[in-house]
Amino acid sequence: MRNFANLSTLSTCILLAFASCNQEQKKESDEVAANDTLQFRSSPLIDSIYTADPSAHVFNGKIYIYPSHDIDAGTSENDNGDHFAMRDYHVFSMDKIDGDVTDHGVALAVEDIPWASRQLWAPDAAYKDGTYYLYFPAKDKDDVFRIGVATSHSPEGPFKALPEPIAGSFSIDPAVFTDTDGSTYMYFGGIWGGQLQQWENNEYDAAGSLTDLEQDNQPAISCRVVKLKDNMVEFDGQVQNAKLIDSAGNEILGGDHDRRFFEGAWMHKYQDRYYFSYSTGDTHFLAYAIGDSPTGPFTFAGHFMKPVQGWTTHHSIVEFDGKWYLFYHDTERSGKTHLRNVKVTELTHHEDGTIAMIDPFTE
Ligand code: FUB
Domain residue ranges in the chain: 41-347
Residue 79's pLDDT band (boundaries 50, 70, 90)? confident
Q: Is the per-residue pLDDT at 108 higher than 60?
A: yes
pLDDT at 16: 25
Q: Is the CB of 68 under 6 A from ligand 1?
A: yes
| Annotation marks residue 53 as catalytic | yes
Task: Point out the least confidently predicted range of 24-28, 59-63, 119-123.
Answer: 24-28
pLDDT at 36: 62
Q: Is the CB of 53 under 6 A from ligand 1?
A: yes
Domain 41-347, CATH: 2.115.10.20
- Top mean-pLDDT range of 17-31, 37-51, 320-334: 320-334
Residue 14's pLDDT band (boundaries 50, 70, 90)? very low
Question: Which of 173, 212, 263, 330 is labelled catalytic?
Answer: 263
Share of the chain above pLDDT 70, in %: 89
Q: Is the CB of 156 under 6 A from ligand 1?
A: no
Residue 209's pLDDT band (boundaries 50, 70, 90)? confident
Among 51, 172, 341, residue to substitute to test ligand 1 (most atoms within 8 Å of Cβ)? 172
Q: Is the CB of 311 under 6 A from ligand 1?
A: no
Average pLDDT, the chain: 91
pLDDT at 35: 54
Share of the chain above pLDDT 90, in %: 84
Q: Whose CA is nearest to atom 8 of ligand 1?
A: 264
Question: Which of 53, 156, 173, 212 is labelled catalytic?
Answer: 53
Q: Is the CB of 264 under 6 A from ligand 1?
A: yes
Q: Which atom of ligand 1 is nearest to the CA of 122?
A: 6
pLDDT, tens digit (0-9, with 9 covering 90-100), for 237-292: 999 999 999 999 999 999 999 999 999 999 999 999 999 999 999 999 999 999 99
pLDDT at 156: 98
Residue 182's pLDDT band (boundaries 50, 70, 90)? very high
The full 3-state SS of the chain, as one line of letters, equals: CCCHHHHHHHHHHHHHHCCCCCHHHHHHHHHHHHHHCCCECCCCCCCCCEEEEEEEEEECCEEEEEEEEECCCCCCCCCCCCCCCCCEEEEEEECCCCCCEEEEEEEEEHHHCCCEEECCCCCEEEEECCEEEEEEEEEECCCCEEEEEEEECCCCCCCEECCCCCCCCCCCCCEEEECCCCCEEEEECCCHHHCHHHEECCEECCCCCCCCCCCCCCECCCEEEEEECCCCCCEEEEEEEECEECCCCCECECCCCCCCCCEEEEEEEECCEEEEEEECHHHCCEEEEEECCCCCCEEEEEEEECCCCCCCCCCEEEEECCEEEEEEEECCCCCCCCCCEEEEEEECECCCCCECCECCECC
| Annotation marks residue 352 as catalytic | no
pTM: 0.91
Q: Is the CB of 284 under 6 A from ligand 1?
A: no
pLDDT at 211: 86
Q: Is the per-residue pLDDT at 69 higher than 90?
A: yes
